[in-house]
Structure 1
Amino acid sequence: MKVLLILICAISATATAAELKPFTTDGCSLFPDGDTKDHVKWMECCIRHDYAYWKGGSENERILADGQLQRCVADLGEENLSYIMHLGVQLGGAPYFPTWYRWGYGWPYMRGYKELSGAEKAQVKTRIIQLNELLTEFLTEEK
């Protein structure tokens, strides 16, 4: 009986929560993914940053994600560029802009800064599992 109650609560909490769209990334949104010698030099940094922006969360989580992007690019020997990129995401990534790259872009528009609930964290986990399964299937078919 107790398990049934927990299951009903979990289902109803998920039903009332907004639905998280599947993860998408465009690399370094409106910015080159690399330089003329290495066209994808800092693209992995941007994809990791996109993951944080997709799932969103609190304002402090955004500050942390932007700092991680800056450090990642600086660690590739692009310290000056890392400051420019940091400034760009700070200016353009607010959750209040109706853009595809805003903070929390995986959720419906106007979510703002808000920590993820347990149900929302479960949605993030589910979407990542689905993405991993899709990638595994794709890579298996490629062989």
Structure 2
Amino acid sequence: MKHLFFLMFICLLSGCAEADTLKPFTTDGCSSFPDGTLHEETLWKSCCTAHDVSYWKGGTYEQRLDADKALKACVAKVGKPAIAEVMLAGVRVGGSPIWPTEFRWGYGWSYFRWYGELTEAERDQVEALKPELP
């Protein structure tokens, strides 16, 4: 029995599971963070939606870092640089692919998926399902 668990663990680490199917894109705005201020309730929501597209499809560690920096830049651009810093800190900790959350890195794929380049077939799935953003 312990050999079976060891084999399953090795398969998980090596990615020998069946090919995964990307779920349709979903977004909850800025997840557990406000989408804007009291007076402008959706001030930076579009920044979060664009960020969610990156998190939905996943990819490499560098791509996640780029997505997080783009979120920070977008929120700062709407005039909230201090909020941008707080959001960056939050997504760096809370967006890790290790967390079993609906907003983790690569949340469009089955849990557990680590960092890595998408295959050509996976990129095709992303293109077929990628939302049109304003």
Structures share fold, TM-score greater than 0.5: yes
Among candidates 64, 67, 70, match of residue 65 of structure 1: 67
Q: Distance in 2 between matches of 1:98 and 1:111?
A: 10
AA partner of residue 103 (structure 1): W
Give 1:18's match in structure 2, choosing from 20, 37, 40.
20
Give, in angstroms, the shift of residue 121 of structure 1. Answer: 0.2
Q: CA RMSD in A?
A: 1.3
Match runs of 1:1-143 below 5 Å? 16-128=18-130, 131=131
- Helix, strand or coil: the match of 2:106? coil
Find the aligned partners of 2:60 and 2:117 in 1 and give their Cα distance. Answer: 5
SS at match of 2:64: helix
Structure with the largest fraction of helix: 1
Partners of 1:65 and 1:26 in 2: how far apart? 17
Give 1:17 shift. 2.2
1:16-75 Cα offsets, whole Å, 9 max, x none, are 520000000000000000001100000000000000000000000000000000000000
TM-score, normalised relative to structure 1: 0.78
1:68 alignment partner, SS class: helix
Structure (1 or 2) with the larger CA radius of gyration: 1
- Taking only the aligned residue pairs, the percentage that are identical comes to 49
| Aligned-partner SS, 1:36 | coil
Amino acid aligned to 1:120: E
CA distance in 1, matches of 2:63, 2:19: 20
Q: d(CA) in 2 for partners of 1:47 and 1:66?
A: 12
Superposition misfits of 4+ residues, deviation over 2 angstroms: none
Q: What is the distance in 2 between the residues matched to 1:20 and 1:68?
A: 23
Whole-angstrom distance in 2 between the partners of 1:64 and 1:17: 26
| 1:99 aligned partner, one-letter code | T
Indicate conservation of the 8 Å contact 1:74/1:80, yes or no: yes
Shift of 1:127: 1.0
Scaled by the length of structure 2, the TM-score of the pair is: 0.84
Query: Residues of 2 paired with 1:50 and 1:28: CA distance?
Result: 8
SS at match of 2:87: helix
Aligned length: 116
